[in-house]
């Protein structure tokens, strides 16, 4: 069983990250232990799954190829992202037959995949 995945963000971008994961996706933010909270970043509960940790990285560069993939209601998530102004790039259904999926980028440019 997977406990969490981590993506990175630049220092001071936590409000944008919270707006994306907590606001647009409506994932619940989890409290970080005090010693880790001092480092910045934030954690979220992924519905029906594990956790997503967003950590501050001094030399931040968004992940443009590597990405976590989340099993969700793809239609509902695609609508929420589109309404919030984020790109929704549907994958070719022949790539993985039987799996509807799409990619987007979070508030700081990290690539994400959502699939049924």
Q: HSE (CB half, 13 Å, CA atoms) of 1?
A: 5
Question: Could you tell me the CA-to-CA distances from 75 to 1, 9, 53, 114 in Å, in that order?
Answer: 26, 27, 24, 10
Determine the structural domain holding residue 51 and report its residue range.
4-115
CA separation for the pair 92, 48 (Å, rounded): 26
pLDDT in tens, 47-82: 988 999 999 999 999 999 999 999 999 999 999 999
- Count of domains forming the chain: 1
Q: Is residue 22 helix, strand or coil?
A: helix
Model-wide pTM > 0.85 = yes
């Amino acid at each position: 069983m997977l406990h969490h995945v981590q993506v990175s963000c630049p220092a001071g971008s936590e409000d944008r990250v919270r707006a994306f994961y907590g606001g647009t996706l409506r994932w619940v933010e989890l409290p970080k232990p005090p010693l880790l909270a001092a480092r910045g970043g934030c954690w979220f509960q992924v519905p029906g799954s594990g956790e997503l940790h967003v950590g501050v990285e001094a030399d931040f560069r968004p992940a443009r190829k590597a990405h976590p993939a989340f099993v969700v209601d793809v239609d509902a998530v695609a609508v929420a992202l589109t309404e919030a102004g984020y790109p929704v790039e549907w994958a070719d259904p022949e790539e993985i037959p039987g799996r509807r999926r799409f990619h987007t980028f979070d508030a700081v440019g990290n690539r994400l995949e959502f699939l049924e």
